[in-house]
Amino acid sequence: MKIFNKVVIIGTGLIGGSIGLTLRKKHLAGVVFGLSFHQKNVKLAKKIGAIDVIGKDLNVVQDADLVILAAPVDSIIDIASKIKGKLKKDCILIDVGSTKEKIVSELSLKFSNFIGCHPLAGSEKRGVANLGGDIFNDSVCIITPIKSTNQKALNKIKLFWTKLGAKVVMISPKEHDQALAHTSHLPHAIAFTLINAISDKFLSLSSNSLRDTTRISGSNVLLWSQIFLTNRDNLLSAIFSFRKQFAALELALKNRDKKLLTKIIKNANKKRERLG
Amino acid sequence: MKIFNKVVIIGTGLIGGSIGLTLRKKHLAGVVFGLSFHQKNVKLAKKIGAIDVIGKDLNVVQDADLVILAAPVDSIIDIASKIKGKLKKDCILIDVGSTKEKIVSELSLKFSNFIGCHPLAGSEKRGVANLGGDIFNDSVCIITPIKSTNQKALNKIKLFWTKLGAKVVMISPKEHDQALAHTSHLPHAIAFTLINAISDKFLSLSSNSLRDTTRISGSNVLLWSQIFLTNRDNLLSAIFSFRKQFAALELALKNRDKKLLTKIIKNANKKRERLG
């Protein structure tokens, strides 16, 4: 079932490319155009069937029904300002950035049919080479409408993500940035720190526990320094929560308090089970 | 190729059971006896072929050629004292505990053919139900000899782990406990803390990053409170290293210091790549 006729994806990395691949596999779009600042990426996206056509320049958005901003967080607002005035009246614009407050407040002012989205389907393996058509299956996509959000466009975008395979959750941009500071940005901050805290001489004696805990410490430096700075205040709150809990564990250990250690680990076991 | 005739495994959980399964698959032992305080475990181990015979009591060690202590860290010294005097003269005794200094110093005094071992093949999924015959393939097994260690027994145990599929690394018990405090005990302390720091209301908005980083927070409470307390001082040092690095990241974020954040993440990327 076709939802949109012409779709333009700006940024054909892991997320942008996977959207294209899934749209095409499921015949959800008439034609998918792809653009990237990296010619190699967009050519590869074309080769593996993630897009139908390589867009030459941003004017390609002019007769689009859906434009997807899938570039890094810092570039989204910049690219949006470059396509302002080019979109046809009923064209829907979405982004897939990892932080939402700033992007949604700025782009909602500039575009009447803008919907902020964040599919929780990323990976430390970026780029079109790692994309797969099924990364949205059983994933969660957060949509962050605000008061002024166009209801018709919102419904269409809900349908869009559902058809891609994701379960849609709707919360405000503010709630999004608070939640993700804890469930995504904090784990990244911790993974970067943990691997940096291990001396080189110990690295060869690593087991799966270190490997799993630090898998995401291989994540892209440009993307993550941007996310951290964009969501600075919420991340600082999350860091504070972690530090408080960590101090409790450290004190229990210092005091050889087996009862408290047991309580901390049992609580972690229970919470982890809830995470699934 | 048979290395030992009669092998007795005390504790048929994930590690003990997997040793039995691999020994039997590769025909490395004449007969494998298994004992456990949990009758259900040892019966299951028998059923899935991890052991040949269920041992009735600790007297089963009397004519053994190899006895493997695969019980939780706290029980190892206790069980060893119960079998003291029962072993025949050339029987080799090994343990597979996650901390080594205390166990090796005590058991080396009591047994002339004791070798401390730590196969880095654990998992947060414990118990015989999760055991697999190939968990030692491409894994590292640390052997921690001391001055008084019997060289002939040591060579035989090196051969034993190599035949099970592991790459043997030899370091002192002290070096072992320092290294593992960083590469295993610290990641566990952090995973327990991280999941405890996430409010329940945010859990449903989790992505793979939180899932991976906290996978090991499902690890067994009894085992891990024991490991933390046994290796308390080294773990406190590792926690100190982490805290120092974490404070640097927090300060960079507070100061909106993109240059420093970039340096931290780049360094993490490089280290993670070395980990493989």
Reported ipTM: 0.90
Give the CA-trace dihedral at B247, B253, B254, B257, to 10 degrees.
110
Does the distance separating the beta carbons of B271 and A195 come in below 8 Å? yes
Domain with CATH 1.10.3660.10 in chain B: 175-275
- Residue A109: exposure state from Cβ atoms within 10 A (0-12, 13-18, ≥19): exposed
pLDDT in the model for residue A250: 98
Q: Determine the distance from the C-alpha atom of residue B228 to the mean position of all C-alpha atoms in its chain, rounded to a whole number.
A: 13
Unique residue bearing structure tokens 């298994």: B34
- Most B CBs within 10 Å: which of A169, A269, A272, as the mutation test of the B interface? A272
Q: Which residues of chain B does A223 touch, with a Cβ-Cβ cutoff of 8 Å?
A: none
Where is pLDDT greater, at A139 or B116?
A: B116
Give the integer Cα–Cα distance in Å for B276 and A18. 26
Tell me the CATH class for B4-170.
Answer: alpha beta
Give the integer Cα–Cα distance in Å for B124 and B53. 27
Q: Which residues of chain A does B176 touch, with a Cβ-Cβ cutoff of 8 Å?
A: 205
Average pLDDT rounded to a whole number, residues A113-118: 98
Q: Which residues of chain A does B268 touch, with a Cβ-Cβ cutoff of 8 Å?
A: 191-193, 195-196, 214, 217-218
User: What distance in Å separates residue A172's CA from the closest CA in chain B?
Assistant: 13
Residue in B185, B41, B47, B65 with CA at minimum distance from that of residue A250: B185
Tens of pLDDT, residues B171-215: 999 999 999 999 999 999 999 999 999 999 999 898 889 999 999
User: What distance in Å separates residue A82's CA from the closest CA in chain B?
Assistant: 25
CATH classification for the domain delimited by A4-171, as one of 3.40.50.720, 3.10.129.10, 3.40.47.10, 3.30.565.10: 3.40.50.720
Does the distance separating the beta carbons of A236 and B250 come in below 8 Å? yes
Domain with CATH 3.40.50.720 in chain B: 4-170
Nearest-by-Cβ selection for A179 from B186, B202, B272: B202
Question: How high is the mean pLDDT of chain B?
Answer: 94
pLDDT in the model for residue A207: 82
Give the integer Cα–Cα distance in Å for B181 and B238. 6
Does the distance separating the beta carbons of B189 and A268 come in below 8 Å? no
Q: Which residues of chain B does A206 touch, with a Cβ-Cβ cutoff of 8 Å?
A: 120, 183-184, 275
Q: Is the pLDDT of residue A126 over 60?
A: no
Does the distance separating the beta carbons of A256 and B205 come in below 8 Å? no
Nearest-by-Cβ selection for A216 from B197, B209, B239: B209
Tens of pLDDT, residues A165-214: 999 999 999 999 999 999 999 999 999 999 999 999 999 898 889 999 99
Does the distance separating the beta carbons of B265 and A221 come in below 8 Å? yes
Give the integer Cα–Cα distance in Å for B160 and B28. 8
Residue of A nearest to B241 (CA): A197
CATH fold of A175-275: 6-phosphogluconate dehydrogenase C-terminal fold (1.10.3660)
Q: Is the pLDDT of residue B56 over 70?
A: yes
Domain with CATH 3.40.50.720 in chain A: 4-171
Q: Which residues of chain B does A228 touch, with a Cβ-Cβ cutoff of 8 Å?
A: 253, 261
Q: Is the pLDDT of residue B132 over 90?
A: no
User: What distance in Å separates residue A144's CA from the closest CA in chain B?
Assistant: 13
Residue in B83, B118, B80, B105 with CA at minimum distance from that of residue B227: B118
pLDDT in the model for residue A267: 98
Nearest-by-Cβ selection for A122 from B188, B205, B207: B207
Unique residue bearing structure tokens 């653009």: A35
Does the distance separating the beta carbons of A242 and B195 come in below 8 Å? no
Average pLDDT rounded to a whole number, residues B231-249: 98
Tens of pLDDT, residues A44-85: 999 999 999 999 999 999 999 999 999 988 899 999 999 999
Asked whether the CA dihedral B37, B41, B44, B48 is positive or negative, the reply is negative
pTM for the whole structure: 0.90
Which band of pLDDT confidence, cut at 50, 70 and 90, is reported for residue B37?
A: confident
pLDDT in the model for residue A255: 98
Which band of pLDDT confidence, cut at 50, 70 and 90, is reported for residue B241?
A: very high
Does the distance separating the beta carbons of A188 and B209 come in below 8 Å? yes
Does the distance separating the beta carbons of B196 and A244 come in below 8 Å? no
User: What distance in Å separates residue B31's CA from the closest CA in chain A?
Assistant: 30
Q: Which residues of chain A does B264 touch, with a Cβ-Cβ cutoff of 8 Å?
A: 192-193, 196
User: What distance in Å separates residue A165's CA from the closest CA in chain B?
Assistant: 15
Q: Is the pLDDT of residue B126 over 60?
A: no
Average pLDDT rounded to a whole number, residues B63-79: 94
Residue in B98, B135, B189 with CA at minimum distance from that of residue B14: B135
